Structure 1
């Protein structure tokens, strides 16, 4: 028998959990679905310094607090890898996972984004064997070793700074001649004696000995010079991509896969809302996801009220 809910929230990051909190507090029957552990990317963040109410808090600790809050009014949580969402009528949606199906009147998409890959030779081969996208997860494997960080945004520089607590040296490789990270993050990085920077450079190949990473081949965009850089670990932070494949049939994404919404988190599909990092927006932070989640949770209630008319 197919289980029926008023609202199904797909994704248990900070935005999804906030949406579930607001919707369940409005006495709606809510299910949160996620293919992994609740908390999303917070679980991969060592320290969060910009969430109001905490001078500093570990990412997994904040995830745990949000999870407890999200379920306090009766929302349910279940593991499920969502494969697609179908609008079976003007009102009903069917959410299909890899193991079962659910019916709901409202879908809130909070699947977030994932790290973009370089797409160079050796990246897939050495993934998990020296290539990583999470310093908090894998940094301990490179204690007193040489590591390279690819990228120049907030994530690259913050995670690079974190790695200096473990690695002997952190070489930040960036394709431009200046960083894109926030100035305060840059200031800390430039003052860190264990961080150095390789400018105007792109990675062309990740090399190894067949078992683990040994370094990378790089190309200087200005001089045209090709060279090799030795590294025991390579951490890649070159952008993010929306996780929206299950929703392609709904026709709610732009040409790059980001979901377009209005200020009420509504998509072009009736009764389908989206929030957080999966949206087409400029700032992707825990605080903005939480703000989106509160709006989406309340708008779910408002939408259901219109169905009663």
Structure 2
């Protein structure tokens, strides 16, 4: 039986694995891929020690650190977890089963969908959730970005190098992105800001996206915008189904509730990063939470614990 299994290989999981290796723990890191959302992050400007680094380079640096600590992630998907005597049994898509005393969920989150007609049909054919991957395909084309937070503005910033013009839609009456991003983006003549607007439908010719139907929430007017790209940046949906199955308490948004030591409501189960109810969903906070969670697990396994969340 392992001391710990870490599920998820984003910044939280990688950070936890490096600390686990330093503590000489008997553990496994199981993940579908290494890097998580960071691999799609574009340029990263707010991580300590890096004035500017792109997501792919940053993931390569994290992998280099893991190799130095002799951490070998198991590239597989955890599909089920069962409580057993003294811990848990973790089952993967490849049919492997591993037993462990504790579990650390670092499962991150996926992009939220608009859930509108045409969205699924034209995903990958105009509708995108990865501006880093897809921005170059929209050279000299009209596009729309949905979301007035940092991720939406970062998408617009990258699209400025390619698109002919960019509609920036936000459902509320103000943009929430950092001031420095707002200044950089909104001064461009290519950007057409549309506050209090929502997208109702994605329309195309059966092959590719050709337009979106939008609604002005103030006037209730509905009209069509001719765009060939729709970038959806409206937040993240936490990957917490396995935690929920184990009885772990979640918020109304589906996030794992943790205490200040990353413990969940279930003994032996911990969580860190974007899958939890921490306020700031940032790369640097995920990495810090992963380290903190590991130190908490190590302490609890070594010295025991008198109380739980």
Q: Shorter chain as normaliser: what TM range? A: over 0.9
The CA deviation at 1:303 is: 2.1
- When structure 1 is superposed on structure 2, of 250-259 and 94-103 the one drifting more is 250-259
Counterpart pick for 1:81 among 77, 80, 99: 77
The CA deviation at 1:307 is: 6.2
Do the aligned residues in 2 keep the contact of 1:215 with 1:229 (CA within 8 Å)?
yes
What whole-Å deviation, never above 9, does each CA across 1:167-224 have from its counterpart, x for those lacking one?
A: 1111101112320111111111111222111221111110000000001001111111
Superposed counterparts of 1:61-140, under 5 Å: 61-89=57-85, 91-99=86-94, 100-140=96-136
Structure-2 residue corresponding to 1:239: 235
What whole-Å deviation, never above 9, does each CA across 1:64-113 have from its counterpart, x for those lacking one?
A: 11122134333320112111222212x32111111221111121110111
In structure 1, the gaps of 5 or more residues are: none
The CA deviation at 1:261 is: 0.7
- When structure 1 is superposed on structure 2, of 172-181 and 276-285 the one drifting more is 172-181
Confirm whether residue 178 of structure 1 aligns to residue 171 of structure 2: no
CA pair 288-114 structure 1, distance change in 2 beyond 3 A: same
Do the aligned residues in 2 keep the contact of 1:120 with 1:206 (CA within 8 Å)?
yes
In structure 2, the gaps of 5 or more residues are: none
Give the TM-score, by structure 2 length.
0.94
Counterpart pick for 1:30 among 20, 27, 31: 27
Structure-2 residue corresponding to 1:8: 5
Do the aligned residues in 1 keep the contact of 2:80 with 2:91 (CA within 8 Å)?
yes
Do the aligned residues in 1 keep the contact of 2:39 with 2:59 (CA within 8 Å)?
yes
Counterpart pick for 1:275 among 272, 277, 291: 272
Confirm whether residue 187 of structure 1 aligns to residue 218 of structure 2: no
Do the aligned residues in 2 keep the contact of 1:15 with 1:275 (CA within 8 Å)?
yes
Q: Please give the secondary structure, in 2, of the residue aligned with 1:192.
A: coil
Structure-2 residue corresponding to 1:286: 283
Aligned residues: CA RMSD: 1.5
Superposed counterparts of 1:128-207, under 5 Å: 128-207=124-203
